[in-house]
Amino acid sequence: MKDSTIKNRELYFTILSSVFLIAIWWLVSIIIGKSYILPSPWVSLKSLIQVVSDASFLPTIVMTLIRVLICVSMSIVVGVLLGLIAGQFKFMEHLLKPLLLITRTLPTIVIIVYVILWMPNTLSPIFVTFLVTFPIVYANTLEGYHQTDLKLIEMAQIYEVHYKKVIQNIYIPSILPYLRSSIIAITSLGLKIVIASEVLSQTPSSIGRSFQMAKINIQTETVFAWALVTIVLSILLDFIMKALFKKGIPYGKTL
């Protein structure tokens, strides 16, 4: 009962905050009075309906989401694999530190521009997003590995448990909470980076290209419409990922 009341209160404040932001948006658009600078919520909503009604809308959404799915899958596979190897072999952890330092500190826009120079525009969003997201999975996998109960490992060594079973029954349960947190984090982050890469690389059949074309044609209301689409997609992806993990092990921490 108490949890239900808290959730209802949180939902109430979320709706109230959203209404307040829309009201501010509407008020500022009236003050500016120029739709090409800041369209009103109603103009943006009308443009959103036109965007959604267009025949190219669904293929555009699907292609961008496929790129996000590919990036997330690649990041999970490579991040978990390297995290386990680095946890087992200390030299590998030190070997990967420079790469992680570069990907974490270098601005994403720099990575995008560089990758665009030597990769086709259909692949560059995938590769850029992978470079940015896989270190998150790697770092969380490595942290989960380091947080494994040493007493369980010592017991497994005493009873000469096969290493595959040690990984399956000791390391994996320790890593899962951290891994789940990183997967949720990189899904929404991946969507944003994929779209940003699509904008700069002019990837065909993509949300990013739709943003760019609207900007070139000075269709600010269309830019806002696609922004609303992106927000909805991000919320849906976050909701889906959390729903998939809801009954599992707690999320843990994201580094």
| 54 and 69 belong to one structural domain | yes
The pTM for the full model equals: 0.84
Residue ranges in the chain modelled with pLDDT below 70: 1-7, 150, 159-160, 163, 247-255
pLDDT in tens, 43-77: 999 999 999 999 999 999 999 999 999 999 999 99
Classify residue 218: in a domain, yes or no. yes
| 76 and 192 belong to one structural domain | yes
| 18 and 55 belong to one structural domain | no
| 19 and 78 belong to one structural domain | no
Structure tokens at 235: 């919320």
Looking at this protein, which amino acid is placed at residue 233?
A: L
- What is the pLDDT at residue 251? 45
Classify residue 255: in a domain, yes or no. no
| 18 and 72 belong to one structural domain | no
Which CATH number does the domain housing residue 235 bear? 1.10.3720.10
| 107 and 29 belong to one structural domain | no
Q: What is the DSSP letter of 56?
A: T
Q: d(Cα 238, Cα 242) in Å, to the nearest integer?
A: 6
Q: d(Cα 75, Cα 51) in Å, to the nearest integer?
A: 31
| 103 and 45 belong to one structural domain | yes
Classify residue 251: in a domain, yes or no. no
Contact 117, 56 (CB under 8 A): no
Q: ∠ CA(181), CA(153), CA(244), 5° rounding?
A: 25
Q: d(Cα 79, Cα 75) in Å, to the nearest integer?
A: 5
**Portion of the chain with pLDDT greater than 90, in percent:** 41
List the one residue out of 181, 98, 171 whose CA is nearest residue 140.
181
| 142 and 186 belong to one structural domain | yes
Classify residue 48: in a domain, yes or no. yes
Q: d(Cα 27, Cα 25) in Å, to the nearest integer?
A: 6
- What is the pLDDT at residue 172? 80
| 118 and 6 belong to one structural domain | no
Q: d(Cα 186, Cα 56) in Å, to the nearest integer?
A: 27
| 220 and 160 belong to one structural domain | yes
Range of the domain at 24: 1-33
* Chain position carrying tokens 């560089």: 114
- What is the pLDDT at residue 254? 46
pLDDT in tens, 193-227: 999 999 998 899 899 999 999 989 889 999 999 99
